[in-house]
């Protein structure tokens, strides 16, 4: 299997709208396994194909404590949303930033599983947040889009600097006394 590179904000490729998957085959299942491996290694609780530069409607999630409840969603559609809830969100494509985001509290989602079989799931809590966050990725949307332009630009500038200078920000450069 393969650990895939995760695109980071403000990479324009994260703005691509993903298209439906028409054939759920063994090649796709190999890619799905690499997405799980990449998500668990990061570590993260979800990963959208868009984040690894594959612009098809596919996402993987595992919100369990022991990383033993993998969920794969192909061509997911939210058919029902209810209530509003604010949760602190992070994103592997926006590393190091966490902000309160408003989402629907409970949702119903329809999708295909990794065998191409349709299923429907109604859920709340972190799983509902994560599903909405991942579907946003498939639509080219990031959680920073819900923030004020000022906050979003601050985050963008910090990540652009890290991209340019390398991630070393806090280390001491002179001799330690």
Q: Assess whether 37 carries a catalytic annotation.
A: no
**Scanning residues 24 to 43, which ones bind ligand GNR (CB under 6 A)?**
none
Residue 161: which residues within 8 A CB-CB, separation 6 or more? none
- What is the full DSSP assignment across 27-96? HHHHHHHHHHHHHHHTT-SEEEGGGGT--BSEEEE--STTS---EEEEEEEEEEEEEEEEEEE--TTSTT
Q: Which of 32, 52, 59, 91 binds Ni ion (CB under 5 A)?
A: 91
**Scanning residues 84 to 143, which ones bind ligand GNR (CB under 6 A)?**
89-93, 129-130, 133-134, 137
The phi, psi pair for 107, rounded to 5°, reads -140, 160
Half-sphere exposure (Cβ direction) of 158: Cα atoms closer than 13 Å: 11
14 binds ligand GNR (CB under 6 A): no
Q: Which is nearer to ligand GNR, 28 or 49 (CB)?
A: 49
Q: Which is nearer to ligand GNR, 116 or 146 (CB)?
A: 146
48 binds ligand GNR (CB under 6 A): yes
Note the residues at the interface with Ni ion (CB under 5 A): 91
Note the residues at the interface with ligand GNR (CB under 6 A): 44-48, 51, 89-93, 129-130, 133-134, 137
């Amino acid at each position: 299997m393969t650990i895939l590179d995760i695109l980071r904000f403000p990479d324009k490729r994260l703005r691509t709208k993903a298209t439906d998957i028409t054939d759920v085959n063994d090649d796709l299942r190999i890619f799905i396994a690499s997405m799980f491996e990449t998500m668990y290694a990061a570590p993260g609780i979800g990963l959208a194909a868009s984040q690894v530069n594959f612009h098809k409607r596919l996402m993987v999630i595992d919100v369990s404590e022991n990383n033993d409840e993998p969920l794969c969603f192909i061509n997911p559609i939210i058919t029902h949303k209810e209530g509003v809830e604010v949760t602190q969100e992070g994103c592997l494509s926006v590393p190091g930033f966490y902000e309160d985001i408003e989402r629907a509290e409970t949702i119903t989602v329809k999708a295909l599983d990794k065998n191409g079989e349709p299923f429907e799931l109604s859920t709340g809590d972190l799983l509902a947040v994560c599903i909405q966050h991942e579907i946003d990725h498939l639509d080219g949307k990031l959680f920073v889009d819900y923030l004020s332009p000022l906050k979003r630009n601050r985050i963008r500038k910090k990540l652009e600097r890290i991209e340019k200078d390398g991630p070393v920000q806090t280390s001491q450069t002179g001799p330690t006394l």
